[in-house]
Amino acid sequence: MIDYNLLYRVAAGKRPFSPGDEKYDVLLSAFNLSGRVQKIFELIPATQKCWVIHNEYAFEDNELPKAGRLLRSDSSHEDEFIADIFKEIDVPLSEVSRLCIDITGFMRAHIMFLMHYLKAMGVKSFDMLYTEPSHYARRADTVFSIDVTEVRQVSGFEGAHAVDVSNDLLVVGVGYDHPLITNVIANKSNAKLLQLLSLPSLSADMYQESVV
């Protein structure tokens, strides 16, 4: 029996963010239609505010925001995509002293490569935000992704290929997205499985719903 009270204790360590304390040089946020993404974009003071437009969301031009600079790339690979959008920012990263990134609307592979990219570019500190929902309207039936075509490694995090997979370990962030998780586990069927709980954007009650 899993003691979900432990997850609530972990959640107690989260630090709330108070917008307006200091002005950032650059704010990056991935655009979507949720209020929790758009509200934070409005509240945070920054010299340059930029919306990252993910191709996977397939927004029509009339759905895109009017305020803020739109950063886009034609690439379907996270490494090229991230490199492309940073070329569109007016201020070079080397001159940005205060950078804020709201990852709420970002694709997960892009978040991972973003960390890799910033380190490679010599960025030593930045603020990363995530706006956590109190719950999802469809709860355990929530669908985050459709039309999944492949299971692959994230650019910048590819491991060395080895024929012997007997000691492989697969760490899975458990959540509502059952088809995606199932595909990954099936792709690494010989690996030892470690389930990682209490990550955004799922809180303890959501894990209980997922198990049920």
The CATH number given to whatever domain includes residue 86 is 3.40.50
Does residue 3 lie in a domain region?
Answer: no
**Same domain for 104 and 187?**
no
**Same domain for 103 and 153?**
no
The confidence score (pLDDT) of residue 87 equals 93
With b for 16 or more beta-carbon neighbours within 10 A and e for fewer, the 110-137 pattern comes to bbbbbbbbbeeeeeeebebebbeeeebe
Q: What is the mean pLDDT of residues 65-92?
A: 93
The confidence score (pLDDT) of residue 185 equals 87
The confidence score (pLDDT) of residue 136 equals 65
The confidence score (pLDDT) of residue 45 equals 93
Q: What is the mean pLDDT of residues 87-104?
A: 90
The confidence score (pLDDT) of residue 68 equals 94
Does residue 61 lie in a domain region?
Answer: yes
pLDDT of 9 higher than 60: no
Q: Which structure tokens are listed for 41?
A: 């974009």
**Same domain for 53 and 153?**
no
**Same domain for 158 and 123?**
no
The confidence score (pLDDT) of residue 78 equals 95
Does residue 1 lie in a domain region?
Answer: no
pTM equals: 0.78
Q: CA torsion sign, 80 to 85 to 90 to 92?
A: negative
Question: 129, 164, 179 — which closes off a domain?
Answer: 129
Does residue 2 lie in a domain region?
Answer: no
**Same domain for 143 and 48?**
no
Q: What is the mean pLDDT of residues 113-130?
A: 92
Domain that holds residue 85: 8-129
The confidence score (pLDDT) of residue 81 equals 96
| Overall domain count for the chain | 2
Question: 108, 129, 150 — which closes off a domain?
Answer: 129
> What is the average pLDDT score of the chain?
82
**Same domain for 41 and 77?**
yes
pLDDT of 179 higher than 60: yes
Question: 106, 129, 152 — which closes off a domain?
Answer: 129
Q: What is the mean pLDDT of residues 125-148?
A: 72
